[in-house]
Amino acid sequence: MWRTKLWKFHLACFIAVLAAVLIAGGEWPPTIPRVLGGTLVGVGLIVFMFLFPQLMFKPQTRVIVFDENGIQTTIGKKAGNIRWREIEDIRVDSETICIRGKNLNAFLVPRRAFDSQEHRAEVLDTIREWQVSVTHEKPH
């Protein structure tokens, strides 16, 4: 995800923070310590953005239920619903089904979540049909 989209966001954040620090200095051209300070703050922000998901990681088992309306998910005491129209795409490789939302969050469903390869294929076909049918609906 970082290579496709997030690097642009991180770069924009870095430039914005660096510019803010340089402008806050009130002098032009900025001094070398001011540039180094802005660079350090920008790098610190990017490091925080990388670490934040790790800090928010929930070690409890996530339960995911698919139906024609979307995805119901429960982890610990938290529960949520994601409608199919909020799903950007569904990608598959030999080990994982990746269901990526338009908000860039994703569900990674491992092979071990299914009883068999046939069960995995059936579920995948069904959720793709549901997702495609909703994305091709005409607005009301």
pTM > 0.85: no
Decide if 92 contacts 124 (C-beta within 8 A).
Answer: yes
Decide if 41 contacts 21 (C-beta within 8 A).
Answer: yes
How far apart CA 126 and CA 97 sit, in angstroms, is: 13
Amino acid making up residue 72: Q
Decide if 42 contacts 54 (C-beta within 8 A).
Answer: no
The three-class DSSP label of residue 108 is strand
- Going from N- to C-terminal start, the domains of the chain cover 2-55, 62-135
Q: Does the domain formed by 62-135 have CATH 2.30.29?
A: yes
What are the pLDDT tens digits along the chain (140 aa)?
666 777 888 899 999 999 999 898 888 888 899 999 999 999 999 899 888 888 877 777 888 999 999 999 998 888 999 999 999 999 999 889 999 999 888 889 999 999 999 999 999 999 999 988 876 665 55
Backbone angles phi, psi at 5, to 5 degrees: -135, -45
pLDDT tens track for 22-43: 898 888 888 899 999 999 999 9
